[in-house]
């Protein structure tokens, strides 16, 4: 009590008049998380009854493990079964989400292809590159990304901007200039003093489901360890299990991956809140690279022809932003606005540096 009193009186007396309650100029951080190819249908509605019926092929859906695990009568209950942290904590206490058509809220990608590399390039460079990036073919991203931009503009050490991603292609997507930032993607080893993480780094290459993509678990563990040790100002975590299981037509495993991604978000948020340099001082953005088919029989697919795959979603937790839960109405938000939004959080003007890039989504001004 005494300590509180003296702290209070110091607040009143120790600072020159007018500055007593001015917030300290804190460094501000951004954490970006992408969940590859997660449809808005599952994000806002949980297990999709139309897909469940389609997959049951005439048999009663009530007999399936999918039904027992993830079914509930309302969309709100179903989505909370898959993402309890997102819906029960993050969106009730800290964040908003856009992209639910039922709430007249829309988020769209603007590239023609509705596939991964075109989507990630749009997220990270603030515009579509339809003439250059037409599919997932390995090629270096043709222009600098916002990750490189932030490092350069703030004159940060390389370790302050880091990417952890499951898909090997991220090595080419996230930086125009090789070695500009820290990238650990695909089956890249992760160096650590922690024996368990060293073991995981070795083991990841022994547990392979897809040739160019590791499971999300090592990606998540490495990213959390890096966050704890290196305190990056800008951290990007690209998860991929959801898209791989969807292409494999494994609906239940796709939902379970989304459930595990929610557990990761909980661990990430808890860790951010436990570190004074991040608590109340960090913008968290969670989104996806593309949607998928809207009809039940196309739930697993996305391509240029399936225009419904351009519909995506976007969640943001920003200090000082009082909006919570689902946004209703409002202008359509675009994937190409994310780069400038990240830069804006650092007080930087990305769309001025790169004319043609999308404008930032307005967020309350925090201490840059
Ligand atoms: Zn895909």
Buried b (16+ CB within 10 A) or exposed e, 327-352: beeeeebbbbbbbbbbbbbbebebbe
Global pTM exceeds 0.85: yes
Distance from Cα 75 to the centre of ligand 1, integer Å: 25
- Mean pLDDT of successive 10-residue segments in the chain (368 residues)? 41 36 56 98 97 94 93 97 98 98 98 97 98 96 98 98 98 98 98 96 95 97 98 98 98 98 98 96 97 96 94 96 96 98 95 94 70
Distance from Cα 244 to the centre of ligand 1, integer Å: 7
Distance from Cα 40 to the centre of ligand 1, integer Å: 14
- Give pLDDT, residue 63: 87
- Give pLDDT, residue 24: 35
Distance from Cα 56 to the centre of ligand 1, integer Å: 23
Distance from Cα 4 to the centre of ligand 1, integer Å: 54
Distance from Cα 305 to the centre of ligand 1, integer Å: 14
Distance from Cα 137 to the centre of ligand 1, integer Å: 13
For residues 345 and 74, give the distance between their C-alpha atoms in angstroms, rounded to a whole number: 36
- Give pLDDT, residue 246: 98
- Give pLDDT, residue 365: 66
Distance from Cα 303 to the centre of ligand 1, integer Å: 8
Distance from Cα 64 to the centre of ligand 1, integer Å: 26
Distance from Cα 300 to the centre of ligand 1, integer Å: 8
Distance from Cα 246 to the centre of ligand 1, integer Å: 8
Per-residue tokens: 122: 């749009």
Integer Rg of the chain from CA:
21
Distance from Cα 127 to the centre of ligand 1, integer Å: 19
- Give pLDDT, residue 132: 96
Distance from Cα 315 to the centre of ligand 1, integer Å: 20
- The residue with tokens 């996305």 is 302
DSSP-derived secondary structure for 77-144: HHHHHH-HHIIIIIIIIIEEEE--GGGT--EE--SSS-SHHHHHHHHHHSS--TTT--SS-----SS-
Distance from Cα 245 to the centre of ligand 1, integer Å: 9
Distance from Cα 357 to the centre of ligand 1, integer Å: 24
- Give pLDDT, residue 27: 52
Q: What DSSP element (H or E) covers 241? A: helix 241-247
Largest CA distance in the chain: 75
Distance from Cα 289 to the centre of ligand 1, integer Å: 9
Distance from Cα 243 to the centre of ligand 1, integer Å: 5
Q: Domains in the chain, please, with CATH?
A: 30-353 (3.40.720.10)
- Give pLDDT, residue 238: 98
């Amino acid at each position: 009590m005494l300590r509180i009193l003296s702290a209070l009186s110091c607040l009143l007396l120790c600072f020159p008049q007018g500055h007593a309650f001015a917030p300290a100029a804190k460094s501000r951080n951004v954490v970006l998380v992408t969940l590859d190819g997660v449809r808005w249908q599952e994000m806002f509605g949980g297990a999709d009854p139309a897909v469940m019926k389609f997959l049951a092929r005439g048999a009663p859906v009530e007999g399936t493990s999918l039904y027992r695990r993830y079914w509930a009568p309302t969309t709100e209950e179903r989505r909370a079964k898959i993402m309890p942290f997102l819906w029960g904590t993050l969106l009730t206490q800290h964040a908003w989400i856009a992209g639910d058509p039922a709430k007249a809220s829309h988020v769209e990608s603007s590239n023609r292809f509705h596939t991964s590399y075109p989507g990630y390039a749009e997220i990270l460079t603030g515009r579509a590159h339809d003439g250059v990036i037409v599919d997932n073919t390995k090629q270096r991203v043709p222009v600098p990304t916002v990750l490189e931009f932030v490092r350069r503009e703030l004159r940060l050490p390389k370790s302050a901007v880091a990417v952890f991603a499951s898909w090997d292609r991220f090595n080419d997507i996230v930086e125009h200039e090789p070695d500009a930032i820290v990238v650990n993607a695909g089956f890249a080893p992760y160096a650590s003093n922690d024996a368990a993480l060293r073991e995981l780094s070795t083991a990841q290459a022994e547990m392979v489901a897809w040739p160019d993509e590791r499971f999300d678990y090592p990606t998540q563990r490495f990213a959390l360890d890096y966050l704890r040790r290196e305190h990056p100002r800008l951290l990007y975590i690209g998860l991929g299990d959801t898209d791989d299981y969807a292409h494999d037509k494994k609906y239940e495993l796709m939902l379970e991956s989304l459930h595990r991604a929610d557990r990761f978000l909980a661990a990430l948020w808890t860790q951010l809140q436990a570190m004074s340099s991040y608590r109340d001082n960090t913008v968290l953005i969670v989104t996806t690279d593309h949607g998928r088919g809207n009809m039940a029989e196309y739930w697993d697919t996305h391509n240029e022809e399936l225009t419904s795959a351009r519909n995506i979603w976007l969640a943001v937790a920003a200090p000082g932003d009082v909006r919570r839960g689902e946004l209703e109405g409002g202008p359509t938000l675009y994937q190409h606005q994310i780069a400038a939004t990240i830069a804006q959080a650092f007080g930087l003007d990305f769309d001025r540096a790169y004319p043609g890039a999308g404008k930032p989504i307005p967020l309350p001004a925090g201490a840059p």
